[in-house]
Structure 1
Amino acid sequence: MRAAVVSEFGGPEAVEIAEVEVPQPRARQVRIRVAAATLNPVDAGVRSGVFGGAGTRLGLGWDVAGTVDAVGVASAWNVGDEVVALHYGVAKPLGTHAEYVVVDADAVAKAPATVDAVHAATVPLNALTAAQALDLLGLRPGQSLLVTGAAGAVGGFAVQLAARAGISVTGLARAGDEELVRSLGASGFVTEGVPAGFDAVLDAAVLGERALAWVRDGGAYAGVIPQAAPQAVRGVRTGAVEVGADGARLAELVRLVEEGALTLRVAETVPLQDAVKAHARLAEGGLRGRVVLVP
């Protein structure tokens, strides 16, 4: 089968489409025939060597939507099930940017019935990251939250999930994104001159200490890069989410998609064989939605 991998770190041109063996599921695993797989900034990080792994071949891709085509023993899934899943890991030999992928059965959820596979593939990594970051913050209804990067994939999901939970959300993004961010449920919007005093900040734009300054004394800060939260000051509780595969939580998010409570945004769809072009487009920036690869 074909798979996108990197053997040497570098820019988009470092991505290779290699012929590799079709992976086989072990106990409590399933194999998914990939219909669509999202390209995320973490893939660019793997490609460029941010996470290490020099001297080995690394697979790319965390999100997948597709069809179960083989199951290991003790799996509750059946061949033919339409599913989505998060394939966690920055140093795995094969990722979801491939024709087939094997994932743990408990990382899988039924695919949303209301959208196609391309849109479904945008859910696992970004929506789980947003949900788990909100868990870290532990806000109650009526409290105030600033989401930086509110027009991005993680930020957009965070705005919707927080607003649905009764939290007063302000989005920080570019001026041209105000209509989008407010449509996601933000009651406030800022581009600069951010006031201090929020109960919490979810820092999807990775502003670090700058964003920490907008949290009230004793509030909370959640970042989206593991182990990269700024040092706590003024009694502010700081942390950063390390997203985890969670099929049950993913199923809850899928239900929200089916209810129309989560907006799925696809910027472009690119064939797997053109993965280099997809990485180049991601590097250009300015996307309002994800680039999705299709085998």
Structure 2
Amino acid sequence: MRALVARRLEGPDALEVIETPVPEPAAGQVRIKVAAAAVNPVDVAVSTGKVVQYGVTAPREQFGLGWDVAGTIDAIGEGVDLTPGTPVIGLADLLGLPLKTHAEYVVLNADAVAPAPKGLDLTAASTIALNALTALQALKALQLTPGQTLLVTGAAGGVGGYAVELGKRLDLTVIASAGEEDEDLVRRLGADHFVPKDLTAVHTIAPAGVDGLVDAAVRGIAAQEAVRNRGWHAHVQAGPTPPHLRGITVEQIFVQANRSELQELVQLVEAGVLSTRVADTYPLHEAPAAYNRLAKGGVRGRLVLVN
């Protein structure tokens, strides 16, 4: 099979599509014939070596690439309750694997896989797992209750957009921050209020500060200044966390694959609560072009590699 890997961590143009044996599932695992796999900022960070530089993972000879996947189960290991032929979505949540979802086949633990949303094409389905799970787990960490205020930075992006939609489902008052050109988008996602990236307007909406923050844009202390004393801050990035000032609880969010939460998200997609956004598709052999486009910024929706 073909698989995209990073051996020289010199950016997207150094990525390689290699030929490698089709992997076999062990007990508790499934093999997925990949239809589509989204490209995310963490993939670009792997290609440039930033994940090694920041100490998030150890150096190795080969990094597999890709976290999200949508496809069809074509083989299962012992003890798996999923059936070959089932369309699924899944998440490869380990950085250091030599092969991941940007490939023609991928093996995942069965607990990292759930049946795909009914009626949704697999290209769109491939954009759900990483970003929506990150947003869901961030909101659960904040422990907010209906009526409280939530600030989401990077609200036009993948994680931020899902945090807005999930926040509204929890009956929170959602303040969304993004570029001014994205105000219409984040309001369509359900935001109650829009503020620009400088965040100075937050205190006109919530004078004492917001109850919780999902910092999808990784603004750090600049965003935390908008949180009330003894509030909550979900830091959506691996690596050093901002300080816990003014009694604020800082929760570092590094996404974890979880079937029950994936199933929860699938139900919300089927119910129309969560949206999917595909910006463009690329065949696997054109992956460097997709990576370079994402690295330049400004993409709204996901770039997806398709087989």
Instruction: Describe the SS at the equivalent of 2:267.
Output: helix
Aligned partners of 2:132, 2:84: CA distance in 1, in Å? 26
Report the Cα offset of residue 55 of structure 1.
4.2
The counterpart of 2:112, out of the listed 84, 99, 107, is 107
Question: How big is each residue's C-alpha offset from its partner over 1:100-159, in whole Å with a ceiling of 9 and x where there is no partner?
Answer: 000000111000112100100000000000000001111000000100000000000000
Aligned to 1:5: 5
Report the Cα offset of residue 227 of structure 1.
4.2
- Is 1:31 the counterpart of 2:36? The answer is no
Aligned partners of 1:115, 1:2: CA distance in 2, in Å? 26
Question: How big is each residue's C-alpha offset from its partner over 1:12-68, in whole Å with a ceiling of 9 and x where there is no partner?
Answer: 111110001100000000000000000000101111112224341110001000000
Bigger mean CA offset, 199-208 vs 42-51: 42-51
Question: How big is each residue's C-alpha offset from its partner over 1:53-95, in whole Å with a ceiling of 9 and x where there is no partner?
Answer: 4341110001000000000000001110110001111111101
The counterpart of 2:246, out of the listed 221, 230, 234, is 234
Aligned partners of 2:111, 2:180: CA distance in 1, in Å? 41
Contact 2:34 2:101 in 1 (8 A): yes
Q: Which 4+ stretches in 1 moved above 3 angstroms?
A: none
- Is 1:61 the counterpart of 2:66? The answer is yes
Aligned to 1:14: 14
The counterpart of 2:172, out of the listed 154, 167, 170, is 167
Letter in 2 for 1:30: V
Contact 2:36 2:69 in 1 (8 A): yes
Aligned to 2:93: 88
- Is 1:195 the counterpart of 2:207? The answer is no
Letter in 2 for 1:124: A
Contact 1:28 1:73 in 2 (8 A): yes
Aligned to 2:55: none
Letter in 1 for 2:301: G
Contact 1:194 1:214 in 2 (8 A): no
Per the normalisation by structure 1, the TM-score is 0.98
Aligned to 1:125: 130
Report the Cα offset of residue 277 of structure 1.
0.6
Aligned partners of 1:106, 1:198: CA distance in 2, in Å? 35
Question: How big is each residue's C-alpha offset from its partner over 1:203-225, in whole Å with a ceiling of 9 and x where there is no partner?
Answer: 00000010010001111111111
Contact 1:265 1:290 in 2 (8 A): yes
- Structure 1 gap ranges (5+): none
- Is 1:116 the counterpart of 2:128? The answer is no
Aligned to 1:274: 286
Taking only aligned residues, the RMSD between alpha carbons, in angstroms, comes to: 0.9
Contact 1:227 1:239 in 2 (8 A): no
Report the Cα offset of residue 194 of structure 1.
3.2
| Superposition map of 1:234-253 within 5 A | 234-253=246-265
Instruction: Describe the SS at the equivalent of 1:141.
Output: coil
Letter in 2 for 1:24: E
Contact 1:154 1:204 in 2 (8 A): yes
Report the Cα offset of residue 195 of structure 1.
2.6
- Structure 2 gap ranges (5+): 53-57, 204-208
Aligned to 2:226: 214
Letter in 2 for 1:72: G
Aligned partners of 2:240, 2:157: CA distance in 1, in Å? 19
Letter in 2 for 1:36: A
Contact 2:64 2:96 in 1 (8 A): yes
Aligned partners of 1:25, 1:127: CA distance in 2, in Å? 26
Aligned partners of 1:275, 1:43: CA distance in 2, in Å? 11
Letter in 2 for 1:164: R
Letter in 1 for 2:250: T
Aligned partners of 1:202, 1:268: CA distance in 2, in Å? 27
For these two proteins, the number of residue pairs brought into alignment is: 295
Aligned to 1:98: 103
